[in-house]
Amino acid sequence: MAEARPDQEYSPTPSVFERWAARYLRHHNQGNVISRQAHGSREIDGIRQVFRRTVAWAALAGIVSGGVIGGTEWYMRQGMLDGMQDMSLRGQLPYWAGFFAVAGVVSAAEIAFLYWNALRGVATTSRLAAVSLRDSPQARLLLLGLTRIALEFPNPRHRIYGIDPYARMSRWKLAAMAVMYRMKVGVTSFLLRVLLRRILGRVALRGLLPLVTGPLYAVWNAIITWRILIKAREQALGPFIIEAQVAQLERDPLSEQARRVALHALGALVMANQDAHPNHVYLLSRLLETFGSRKHSIDVDWPQQRFALNRLERREKRRVLELLTTATVLAGRCRGRRKRFLEELFEACDMAYPEERVRAWRRQFMNGQSLDTAHNATSG
């Protein structure tokens, strides 16, 4: 049996902010059993409503903050200083100090609201999806993953069950990603306001500044919140699909060779994805447990296991491909590096890549439905 707890593998030392957000999520989701049933239309409709409402509130916050900042800009420049055309740079300093003070306070209040709004949306999504956030290592893994999603924190950058998700990523790219994550909500939001003010300040739209900035900020906020809730929905619905796959493996076990290939292929997918997605950590923990693995560290040797995959009998090839296709759609739309890796898997088995079937599985997954494994993803 694997001894490593998935929550410890994913995030052994949560920060103060993560612990605070985790308490909030637990308070708003008292469930203690992970759902193993397909989600009904009522639950999915509820998740969609939460999605729309949370995005709408974020957009409204952008309109209000943009209107306040743009209105302050216009009033200070036109109403108080009569356009500032003849003022020296030194004479403009009080104006700039006042503007940045107002913009900073309004932006800080808006950013705080956006975090709270996202946290509330993630909490409600997890509750409607019947995600347990307590009383088991898997539940604590889900809690940590949802917490990091709501706070817009990147997934931890360390080995997961011996797998380095970032082994194929250069150091400069890792550093750049870390900076971008820290700027995504707070710093970038504030800089957007300053840049827009400077750009619009040079054109004929100056008098319409309050009308222009509000919608732009609303779109920016909506995009950020939309991304957060998509990720939260993936993670909230992931355990149901994973448990269904594990139950199938328990009823109809794979051979020892197929198990080894599946674990190494999943490790290679994590490396290709260049991210420790919580759904992949959850799936790895359940596979190691179900396979009765004594080691909880995987030293991925994909070239060798790719050859072993091709030597499996056809039925087991299809089952491994089905498992890896499921793992792929659990982490996002099948494109980029994930798609190339999945295409490589099917090529190794001398099978055509079923693009339409993969898209259908992604839709079914995001709608809380069981994957259509009765019509095997590798058929044809």
pLDDT digits (tens, 9 = 90+) for 31-68: 666 656 667 778 889 999 999 999 999 999 988 887 78
CA atoms within 13 A on the CB side of 292: 6
94's tokens = 């009080």
**Residue 40: which H helix or E strand, with range?**
none
- Of 56-70, 302-316, 363-377, the range with the lowest mean pLDDT is 363-377
| Closest by CA position to 280, among listed 95, 178, 155 | 155
**Which pTM was predicted?**
0.83
pLDDT, tens digit, 9 for 90 and up, residues 110-169? 889 999 999 999 999 999 998 888 778 888 999 999 999 999 888 888 889 999 888 766
AA letter at 336: G
Q: In sequence order, what are the residues at sequence separation of 6 or more whose Cβ sits closer than 8 angstroms to the Cβ of residue 138?
A: 6, 7, 34, 132, 239, 282, 285, 286
Phi/psi-derived region of residue 249, left when phi > 0, alpha when psi is between -120 and 50, beta in every other case:
alpha
